[in-house]
Structure 1
Amino acid sequence: MSSTVVDVTDSDFETQVVKAPGPVLAVFRAEWSGVCRALDPILAEVAQEYANRLTVARLDIDKSPQTPPKYNVTAIPTLYVFKNGKIVATRIGPSSKNDVVQLITPHL
């Protein structure tokens, strides 16, 4: 598990997120979105604070357009917690650090 946010793509999403050995916070985002960019420092903090218990991965929906429809992503940012290959928690839209921590904590 990484202490930094991992950028994933269509080609490695399955390996890095779905088949990951521990819980993964997967964030579907776009660089042009101010809300997504505002979330980036929060994701970096969470990745560092939960480094040994959680992987934080982000996918740019413009650079990797095949993966979002597979997971019914219709708005950004969409945050999914994956555990054992399944989505176990979801949050859509702007999020504070507290929101993110509340989302991931039950699955650590």
Structure 2
Amino acid sequence: MLDKSVLKQADTETLIETALECGRQQASILAHAEALTDEQIEELIEIEKIRDFSIRLIDWADVKQFESRLHVLQKLDNDNQALLTAKRKALQQDIELLKKRRNVAGEYMNFR
């Protein structure tokens, strides 16, 4: 992963590009993973930490000239959040289905 000390020395444009790239990496992981592995979840968390750190370091007074890229970053963040929400909902539904199956199996075993 990227060393945070490098980001501390970066200019506004580089910080914005870093945040955008983090969003793109997250989108790629979320789009290509049917079910997230523990490793992918850890990777998403690490990418999120770098993205957040980059955003905190941005000199917002310099941002006007980079506004269009920030809109792209915001859209990526919104899209990634929607994908995560959908995956979370699907996982919750799977958990509920497994609970129901377990209960039915338990009732069947008690019946026998």
Structure with greater Cα Rg: 2
TM-score (norm 2): 0.26
TM-score (norm 1): 0.27
Task: Specify which structure has the higher proportion of helix.
Answer: 2
Task: Specify which structure has the higher proportion of strand.
Answer: 1
